Every structure is written in C-alpha cells, then in structure tokens.
Amino acid sequence: MAGTEHTVTLEADGPARSGRAVVFAADGAYLRYAAFAAAQLARLIPARDFDICLCGPEMPEAVPGLDGLGLRRCRVTTGDMFDRLGLDPRRSAASYLRYALPEAFAAEYGRLLYLDADVFIQGGDFGALLSVDLGAHPLGAVRDNMQWRTPRRRTPSYERLGLPWASVFNSGMMLIDVSTWRERDVLGRMLAFGAAHDPARVGLDQDLVNAVVRGGWAELSPVWNWQYTWASRLFEALADAHVVHFIGPRKPWSHDGGELPLRFRRAYRDFFAANFPEEPVGPDGVAPLANRRFVGRMLVKHLLSLGKLGAYLDRFPDDLTVLA
C-alpha cells in the first residue's frame, strides 16, 4: 500500500474461485446479519460467476445450515492501522475494515462489491453490476440519500472541514475497481487525512472516505442501495429496489414499533431460528398501520417529495446506468 507502512493480512477457509467477489465485513453480532444477506444473495444466484465473502477481524464462524451455499469465510487483520482515526462506538476499527478489503484481496479479485451487513437483497443481476464500466474512477456507489431530493446540499462534515460542495455517496455499498483504488492510494490517503484532522470535524468513516475521494466516483442507480428511511420507503417497491439498506437505528430484527413492514422481520426471524437459535428474533410487535400519526406524516412527506425524487430517479434509465 503506497505511502503507508501498515500491513493487511488475509486468511480464508478456501481459495478464490473467481476473479471478483461480493464482500461483507463486520464483527460481533453483525456478522450474523451479514450472513443473512450473503445467504439471500447465494440463493438468489446459485449459479454465479463471482465469489461471496464473509469477512471479519476474526475468522467468521462456520454455520452448518449455510454449508451448501459456497460462501467464503475470511479473516482480514489490519493491526493498529485505524487507531488514529478517533475510534468510538460509532467509529470502530471494524467499521473501517471495508476500506482495507482492496488491499487484502489484491492478489485474488479485480472487482469487489462491498455491502453492509444491514441490507436486504431482493433481486438484481449482480454479475452484470460487477462488470459495469466505472471509467477512471476507483469506485461506483449510490448517492447518499440526503442528496436525493436536494442534490446541492452540502454535508455537515464538509461544512465543518471547510470543503466546497461535492456529491457524496453512501458507503454501505461500494463497487470497487481494485487496481484503480490501489493506484489512487485511497486507503493511505484516508489514513493520512484522518490523522491530520480532528475526528470530531471529520465525522464517521463515510465522511472520511468522501472527503478523500471528493466527488471522484461513479454514480450508480439507487436500486442497488435503497436507503430505507421514513421519507423514502414507500417508493422502494415502485422503484423495484434490489438492495434495501436499513440505514437508521430501526433494524427489522430489533424494531417492533410498527414502522417497518413485517416481511422483513419475519425473514430475519426464520433465518435466525434455523441458523442462530440462541439469538432469536422476537414476535412481530405493533402492526405497521397501528401508528396512524406516523403513517400520516410519512404519506405527506412522500407526496411533497414526489417531484424531486422522481427527477432524481429519472437520471437512471435502467438499473445498470453509470453516471461517471
């Protein structure tokens, strides 16, 4: 890795079977949610030309119920690489692990599609996505939802750092061209930038990578990272989102307050009952339409944002459109 003395190491339970991969990186309990998404993808595309990797700072546990899905378990270690980035409960070393994956897999994969653990995979041609042309950019991603309706909005981290406006992406899904990422030394620049600035001004890992890439990324359709908020969830089905990303604090496996469709919670409950019975997902809880005030506010928000969100979606004639 140019410009740094840090070492990233890789240990895997088997060899790579392809030249590209969909990868998840998490630790602790979140590895189980990553396993859920990885299993969804494996069952969606049983005959695939890419690997699916579950990565963690420790070797992910083997799950007998997933043995036949062809998932590759990987341990990626980074030592003290991220210690100077102001780590805290929201900025753990594990949250930065995704940015070390191109270094870890450099000898095996030319393309990586990173996905967060809190995603729900519903469809899409992932093989085709892994092949799209990113031009000269090190990565492709989906615009952060704060800029879906207001594209000229400057992020709070950019304001704190005195940076001019730039489009910003949500780092819960990144399509990475490994060679270009390494040539641009994205990881090394992140470490240098983070060490040179007050962590409170930089913000979270997503703020840091955006500050370094600074608009130099290829924009992908939001169907690959539909950031599921109270202001966008009703449009998800109409947009035919392939990947639903639960970006807020309300997760289907833990939230029972009636603000998420029960189909998500039930899918996690079935998966955990079969594979992690010691970590059960509880009963349904409040019915989704029981909170009339929330539903009414959500409907009004969707109606008011219809024009702006429609204009944003119109920029992508199909799900493989790349705006470079």
Percent helix, strand, coil in the chain, to 5, is 40, 15, 45
CATH topology of domain 9-117+135-221: Spore Coat Polysaccharide Biosynthesis Protein SpsA; Chain A (3.90.550)
Phi first, then psi, for residue 23 (nearest 5°) are -125, 145
d(CA 179, CA 194) in angstroms, rounded, equals: 23
Contact 209, 101 (CB under 8 A): no
Distances (CA, A) of 45 to 68, 83, 112, 141: 13, 38, 17, 22
Instruction: Burial-class residue 280 by CB neighbours within 10 Å (0-12, 13-18, 19+).
Output: exposed
Q: Which residues of the chain have pLDDT under 70?
A: 1-6
Where would I find the H helices in the chain? 30-44, 93-96, 101-104, 126-129, 156-161, 178-183, 186-196, 199-202, 205-213, 233-239, 262-275, 292-313
Q: What number of other Cβ atoms are within 10 A of residue 42's Cβ?
A: 18
Contact 97, 55 (CB under 8 A): yes
The ranges assigned to domains in the chain are 9-117+135-221, 224-313
Distances (CA, A) of 80 to 5, 41, 94, 241, 268: 11, 32, 12, 38, 34
Output DSSP code: residue 100. G
Instruction: Give the pLDDT confidence score for residue 5 in this predicted structure.
Output: 54
Q: Which of 224, 214, 166, 158 is nearest to 186 (CA)?
A: 214
d(CA 284, CA 276) in angstroms, rounded, equals: 18
Phi first, then psi, for residue 323 (nearest 5°) are -105, 100
> Three-state DSSP class for 85?
helix
| Residue pLDDT, tens place only, 150-178 | 999 999 999 999 999 999 999 999 999 99
Number of residues that make up the chain:
324
Q: Which of 100, 85, 95 is nearest to 186 (CA)?
A: 100
Output DSSP code: residue 314. T
Instruction: Give the pLDDT confidence score for residue 292 in this predicted structure.
Output: 87
